[in-house]
A = this chain, B = another copy of it.
């Protein structure tokens, strides 16, 4: 039942569950939707936020003007004014909350990786399908205009037939050995560490550009085996570091993964991801080779591509392409090429797809099936590294 505001614009009642970093990013995206997608004719209404931490929900109200703030997300789902829900709570809650959102008949915008296993993601996917609501997953790298352009170039044959590729997400947020032993490092609450956190994006990007995976082999490592436990009342040190004298506890999940994949199309892909790569800050990227060229993207220069195209084959030069209004939705944000867009902008683009799917009833990727596919690949990597060698998906 579509609702309208006084000027006849379609309203969407928004709820956000988990008002941390990404909860804030989602809320900002909702507020900015009209700036960049006025043509959708939609006015978001900030109905409710839910977070178990009072300060978090107060900050959300102050920044975004939510009408209500709940301690328990179940109360938010009971609110009939809420039509669409952002699920930006920690991974271990994705499954339970995601299923509940769908069962409440509300549209679901949920963060990756959608739980801590393929089973989790599948449960949410099933609930969404059963409820007939729309579901969008936060694989926001797809939304980067240069990435959309890269995919278009590959699809149009600009590099000929794809042959092989590399995808990497290397960063350092967990690189300090005194970083405390939070929930992130436990299997039960953090899942498979870098796999869900970063490699999930890598798998999704690969699938986005190159289709489905046939089989893979992986090796993983925990490079920082022990970290200081959180001692109630003890000192903490700069940058969220633990007490060097605190007792040490065991890290249970992966710091690093390296994999080789064979796509159903025959393309061979090397994947790598680390959360402890000292010296790397967001060294994320994809490089796709084909029979007539290559195309590459690097997150640290997010508005450009390296492209080699033509029929020289040998000594074919490569071009630095500063992507502009013609690439993805860049033109909705900046009128010219090479004017920087932000991480947050990509979430606005992702949201626009979610809203379009709500308006049209037609799913638009990344959908929950993509989360399931990504999670299956991650599970396969864990099995492979545990001794299974090549694993067929």
Contacts and interface: CB of A to CB of B under 8 A. Distances in A.
A335 B21 contact: yes
A290 B270 CA distance: 20
B319 A315 contact: no
A109 to B, nearest CB: 18
Q: Interface size bucket, A side?
A: 35 or more
A292 B314 contact: no
Interface string A164-203: 1010000011011101000000000000000000000000
B315 A318 contact: no
Given A278-B308, A317-B319, A344-B342, A166 B268 contact: no
Number of copies of this chain in the oligomer?
4
A204 interface: no
A275 to B, nearest CB: 10
Contacts of A312: 278
A119 interface: no
Contacts of A304: 300
A275 B186 CA distance: 43
A146 to B, nearest CB: 11
B291 A223 contact: yes
17 contacts: A28-B32, A31-B31, A164-B258, A176-B314, A177-B313, A221-B266, A258-B260, A274-B289, A277-B289, A278-B293, A278-B308, A278-B316, A279-B308, A282-B339, A299-B338, A315-B337, A319-B319
- Top 6 A-B pairs ranked by shortest CB distance? A279-B308, A342-B342, A176-B313, A279-B294, A281-B338, A389-B389
